[in-house]
Chains A and B, each alone.
Chain A
Amino acid sequence: MRLATRRRFAWLAVLSPPLIWTLLFMIVPYTIMFAYSFFRKEGFSFIPDLQFGNYAALLLDPQYSQVLLRTLKIATMVSLAALILAYPLAYFLAFKVRWARLRLFLYMAVIVPLWVSYLLRAYTWKTILGSEGVLNSFLVWSGILSEPTHLFLYNQFAMVLTLTYIFIPFMVMPIYTALEKIPRSLIEVSGDLGVGPSHTFFRVTLPLSVPGILAGFTFTFCLAFGDFIAPALVGGPTGTMVANVVQSQFGVSFNWPLGGAISIVMLAIVLTIISISDRFERAGRLDLG
Chain B
Amino acid sequence: MTDRTAIPDPHPLHHSMRQRRRDMSTIGLGAIAAVVLLFLYLPIVVLVIFSFNDNTVTTLPLKGFTLVWYQHLLANGEMLTAVGNSLHVASFATVLTILIGVPAAFALDRADFPGKNIFRRIVVLPLTLPGIITGISMLNLFRMLGFNLSLTTVILGHGTALVAIVVTQVYARLQRFNRRLEEASDDLGAKPWQTFFLVTLPNIRSALIGSGLLAFTLSFDEIPVTFFLTGRDNTLPMYIYSTLRRGITPEINAIGTIIVAVSLVIILMSVRLLRKDNEFDQ
A and B touch in the complex (CB under 8 A): yes
- Partner pick for B60 among A27, A92, A106, A138, CB 8 A cutoff: A138
Most B Cβ at <10 Å: residue of A26, A110, A136, A246: A26
Q: A33-B137, A115-B267 are in contact. Are A134 and B46 (CB under 8 A)?
A: yes
> A128 and B132 in contact (CB under 8 A), knowing A116-B259, A137-B59, A229-B224?
no
Q: Chain A contacts of B260 at CB under 8 A?
A: 116, 120
Residue of B nearest to A118 (CB): B221
Residue of B nearest to A31 (CB): B137
Contacts of B100 in A (CB 8 A): 17-18, 21
Q: Which of B43, B130, B163, B271 contacts A270 (CB 8 A)?
A: B130
Instruction: Let me know if A112 and B267 touch, CB within 8 A.
Output: yes
> A-facing mask of B199-225, CB < 8 A → 1, else 0?
000000000000000000100110110
Any chain A CB within 8 A of the CB of B141?
yes
With beta carbons under 8 angstroms apart, the residue of B130, B160, B264 that contacts A21 is: B160
Q: Does A123 contact B (CB under 8 A)?
A: yes
Which chain A residues lie closer than 8 Å to B119 at the CB level? 19, 22
- B259: shortest Cβ distance to chain A, in Å? 5
- Are B59 and A88 within 8 A (Cβ)? no
A250 adjacent to B46 (CB under 8 Å): no
From residue 1 to 31 of chain A, which have CB atoms closer than 8 A to chain B?
10-11, 14-15, 17-19, 21-22, 25-30
Residues of chain A whose beta carbon lies under 8 Å from any beta carbon of chain B = 10-11, 14-15, 17-19, 21-22, 25-30, 32-33, 36, 85-86, 88-89, 91-93, 96, 106, 108-113, 115-121, 123-128, 130, 132-134, 136-138, 141, 165, 168-169, 197, 218-219, 222-223, 225-229, 232-233, 243, 246-247, 250, 256, 259-260, 263, 266-267, 270-271, 274
User: A11-B107, A21-B100 are known contacts. Are A89 and B267 too (CB-CB below 8 A)?
Assistant: no
What are the residues of chain B within 8 A of A19 when measuring CB–CB? Answer: 119
Contacts known (A128-B42, A165-B39); A112 close to B237, Cβ less than 8 A: no
- Minimum CB–CB distance for A13 against chain B, Å: 9
Residue of A nearest to B29 (CB): A92
Is the Cβ of A14 less than 8 Å from the Cβ of B244?
no
B60:A197 contact, CB within 8 angstroms: no
- Asked if B263 and A25 sit within 8 Å, CB to CB, the answer is no
Cα–Cα, bound, A218→B127 (Å): 11
Q: Looking across the interface, which residue of chain B has its beta carbon closest to that of A10?
A: B192
Closest residue on chain B to residue A220 by CB atoms: B128
B33 to A263, Cβ gap below 8 A? Answer: no
Question: Known contacts A29-B141, A246-B136; is A88 also within 8 Å of B36 by CB?
Answer: yes
Q: Given A17-B100, A21-B163, A127-B248, list of 7 further CB < 8 A pairs?
A: A33-B140, A106-B37, A124-B43, A132-B57, A168-B36, A229-B241, A266-B132
The listed residue (B32, B138, B241, B271) touching A88 by CB distance below 8 A is B32
Which residues in B have their C-beta under 8 angstroms from that of A266?
A: 130, 132-133
Provide the residues of chain B in CB contact with A106, threshold 8 Å. Answer: 33, 37
Whether the Cβ atoms of A25 and B266 lie closer than 8 Å is no
Docked complex: B123-167 residues within 8 A CB-CB of A: 123, 125-133, 136-141, 144, 156, 159-160, 163, 167
Q: Is the CB of A126 within 8 A of B248?
A: yes
Question: A105 to nearest B CB, angstroms?
Answer: 10
**Cβ–Cβ < 8 Å partners of A112 in chain B:** 263-264, 267
Which residue of chain B has the shortest Cβ distance to A246 in the bound complex? B132
- Given A120-B256, A197-B25, A223-B130, A25 and B138 contact (CB-CB distance below 8 Å): yes
Nearest CB of A to B183, in Å:
13
Chain B nearest CB, measured from A167 CB (Å)? 11
| CB-defined contacts of B198 to chain A, threshold 8 Å | none
> Is B113 an interface residue, CB under 8 A from the partner?
yes
Alpha-carbon distance between A247 and B144 when the two chains are bound, in angstroms: 19
B128 touches A219 (CB 8 A): yes
Q: Which residues of B contact A89 (CB under 8 A)?
A: 32-33, 36-37
Question: Which of A26, A91, A126, A168 has a CB less than 8 Å from the CB of B125?
Answer: A26
Most chain B beta-carbon contacts within 10 A, residue among A85, A119, A136, A165: A119
- Select the residue from A36, A120, A137, A247 with max chain B CB neighbours within 10 A: A120
Closest A residue by C-beta to B49: A134
Query: Taking chain A's interface residues, is the majority helix, strand, or loop, or is none over half, making it mixed?
Result: helix
Contact indicator A125/B43 (Cβ below 8 Å)? yes
CB of A133 within 8 A of CB of B36, answer no
B128 touches A33 (CB 8 A): no
Q: Are B125 and A128 in contact (CB under 8 A)?
A: no
Assuming A93-B33, A108-B267, A219-B128, is B61 touching A25 (CB within 8 A)?
A: no
The verdict on B1 contacting chain A, using a C-beta distance below 8 Å, is no
In the assembled complex, the Cα of A15 lies from the Cα of B111 at a distance in Å of: 9
Contact status B29-A247, CB under 8 Å: no
CB <8 Å contact, B59 and A133: yes
Residues of B within 8 A of A21 (CB): 100, 159-160, 163
Contact mask for chain B residues 223-253; partner A; CB cutoff 8 A; 1 contact, 0 none: 1100110000000010011001100100010
Contact present for A259 and B136 (CB under 8 Å): yes
Contact partners of B6 in chain A: CB under 8 A:
none
| With A127-B46, A132-B58, A134-B58 as contacts: A270 and B128 at CB distance below 8 Å | yes
- Nearest B residue (CB) for A14: B103
List, in ascending order, chain A residues with CB within 8 A of B266's CB: 115
Are B140 and A260 within 8 A (Cβ)?
A: yes
Selected contact of B160 from candidates A26, A219, A246, CB within 8 Å: A26
